Structure 1
Amino acid sequence: MPKSSRQDPLHGLTLQMLLARLVERYGWEDMADKININCFSSDPSIASSLKFLRKTPWARQKVEALYLQTQWPDEDD
């Protein structure tokens, strides 16, 4: 496996997978508190959030940062 993909913690995760896991973990209301963007607070959905995040790099970076800061249980086993 190339060294770069082993070092990238988001390697293999789609934006949809990442967003779904965050929503499952926090819910839309907490997501809106953590990242102040309208798509999380005003009639939120995965589809509308994905559309916005794909067009807005700064918002996507915030979502990716939240994902990386979140403590996830080990899934290696």
Structure 2
Amino acid sequence: MAALCLIAPFVAMLWVGSYAKIEPTFIGIPFFYWYQMLWVPVSALLTTVAYILVRREKRALSAAERAGAADNGGAA
């Protein structure tokens, strides 16, 4: 899931045909420009989500390793 969060902005920006147009404009700014600028905060949000997911997974693995070590009497 974290990889999807990181790949989505790249796919969106590399698929130029989807946003290479002028209409619809937003406060006078052509679609081509405001679509790209919209991806700046969206990418930051998706990167944050990916970071949280990876951190959560690492914590779960650490807890599982500690629990496994405790079950084995501390032998690694």
TM-score by length of 1: 0.26
Higher helix share: 2
Task: Give me the TM-score of the superposition, normalised by structure 2.
Answer: 0.26
Q: Which protein, 1 or 2, shows the higher relative CO under an 8 Å CA cutoff with sep ≥ 6?
A: 2
